[in-house]
């Protein structure tokens, strides 16, 4: 099929990820006919609860004959394995190059023969560690402007009560609010979350990142330039909305 037709072709909604019950948990057969992005989208859409298995059980991913790219593996680890907290026992494939890539990344290539019973000491240690783990702060507030070269990385949400100057950077697992001028780089949903937003008091940055999406803004064509905006992802597409109710609020 010519490339142009491939691009125009809509993904077949009937294509599903086949799941099989195994002695170690589950085995996912990942269809080859889907593009990498479509496959990722499909895996992300599976509710986190569906990945939940008993503690000693896990999942094997079978890529069949697909030639996997580094990008796909990276995104799978980032958006599926870490984000949903699942245990992958094996990365299977019939494609030699994919197997080489898995091996180079140190991933297990064989399905477990039998499950070892959980080590009671280890289980107890994990419980103790979980109990004493320091809570991750869900919100980080910066009460001044961030200057060029300054960087914040947070697992939760970030609020900058000032400007984000050019050359300053925020990477947040959650959403980001810059109350003043947004001139630097913001990455909301830096670990793959798509249900996040960026709110800027004055939007003046040429680039915003949300989850795995990169959005560019041209000052000459962006109507929201230097305005108060909200940026979100809707069905995987970045959306920018101008604050048009400010005047009404002032009138009140």
Distance from C-alpha of 193 to C-alpha of 195, rounded to nearest angstrom? 6
The binding track of 215-244 with respect to another protein, each residue x by CB under 8 A or -, is ------------------------------
Site for another protein (CB under 8 A): which residue of 27, 140, 163, 209?
163
- The tokens describing 14, both together, are 């009937």
CB-based contact 197:175 (threshold 8 Å): yes
Q: In angstroms, how far is the first alpha carbon of the chain from the final one?
A: 60
> In this structure, how many other beta carbons lie within 10 angstroms of the beta carbon of residue 88?
17
Size of the site for another protein (CB under 8 A): 11
Site for another protein (CB under 8 A): which residue of 79, 93, 145, 212?
145
Of 183 and 217, which CB lies nearer to another protein in the complex structure?
A: 183
Which of 26-34, 61-69, 100-108, 143-151 is the region at the interface with another protein (rule: CB under 8 A)?
143-151
Site for another protein (CB under 8 A): which residue of 57, 95, 150, 222?
150
Output phi, psi for 138, to 5 deg: -75, -20
CB-based contact 86:56 (threshold 8 Å): no
Kindly state whether residue 148 participates in binding another protein, applying the rule CB under 8 A. yes
Nearest distance in Å: CB 183, another protein: 7
Of 57 and 150, which CB lies nearer to another protein in the complex structure?
A: 150
Q: Which of residues 48-107 bind another protein (CB under 8 A)?
A: none
Kindly state whether residue 149 participates in binding another protein, applying the rule CB under 8 A. yes
Of 125 and 148, which CB lies nearer to another protein in the complex structure?
A: 148
- Tabulate helix, strand, coil % of the chain (nearest 5): 25, 30, 45
Nearest distance in Å: CB 160, another protein: 13
Nearest distance in Å: CB 218, another protein: 16
Beta-carbon contacts of 26 under 8 Å, excluding residues fewer than 6 positions away, are: 19, 20, 53, 57, 58, 59, 60
Q: Give the H/E segment covering residue 202.
A: strand 197-203
Of the CA atoms within 13 Å of residue 82, those in its CB half-sphere come to: 13
Q: Which of residues 164-193 bind another protein (CB under 8 A)?
A: 165-167, 181, 183
Residues that bind another protein (CB under 8 A): 145, 147-150, 163, 165-167, 181, 183
């Amino acid at each position: 099929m010519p490339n142009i037709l491939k691009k125009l072709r809509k993904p077949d909604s009937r294509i599903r990820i086949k799941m099989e019950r195994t002695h170690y948990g589950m085995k996912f057969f990942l269809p080859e006919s889907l593009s990498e992005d479509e496959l990722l989208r499909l895996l992300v859409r599976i509710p986190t609860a569906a990945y939940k298995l008993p503690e000693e059980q896990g999942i094997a991913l079978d890529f069949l004959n697909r030639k996997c790219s580094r990008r796909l593996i990276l995104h799978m680890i980032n958006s599926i394995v870490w984000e949903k907290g699942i245990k992958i026992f094996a990365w299977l494939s019939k494609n030699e190059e994919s197997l080489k890539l898995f091996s180079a990344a140190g991933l297990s290539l064989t399905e477990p023969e039998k499950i070892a019973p959980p080590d009671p000491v280890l289980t107890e240690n994990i419980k103790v560690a979980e109990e004493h783990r320091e809570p991750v702060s869900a919100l980080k507030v910066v009460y001044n402007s961030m200057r060029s070269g300054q960087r914040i990385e947070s697992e939760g949400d970030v609020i900058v009560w000032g400007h984000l100057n050019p050359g300053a950077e925020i990477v947040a697992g959650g959403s980001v609010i810059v109350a003043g001028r947004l001139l630097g780089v913001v990455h909301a949903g830096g670990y793959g979350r798509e249900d996040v937003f960026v709110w800027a008091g004055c939007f003046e940055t040429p680039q915003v990142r949300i989850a795995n999406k990169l959005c560019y803004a041209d000052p000459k064509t962006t109507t929201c330039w230097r305005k108060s905006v909200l940026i979100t992802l809707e069905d995987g597409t970045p959306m920018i909305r101008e604050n048009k109710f400010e005047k009404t609020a002032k009138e009140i």
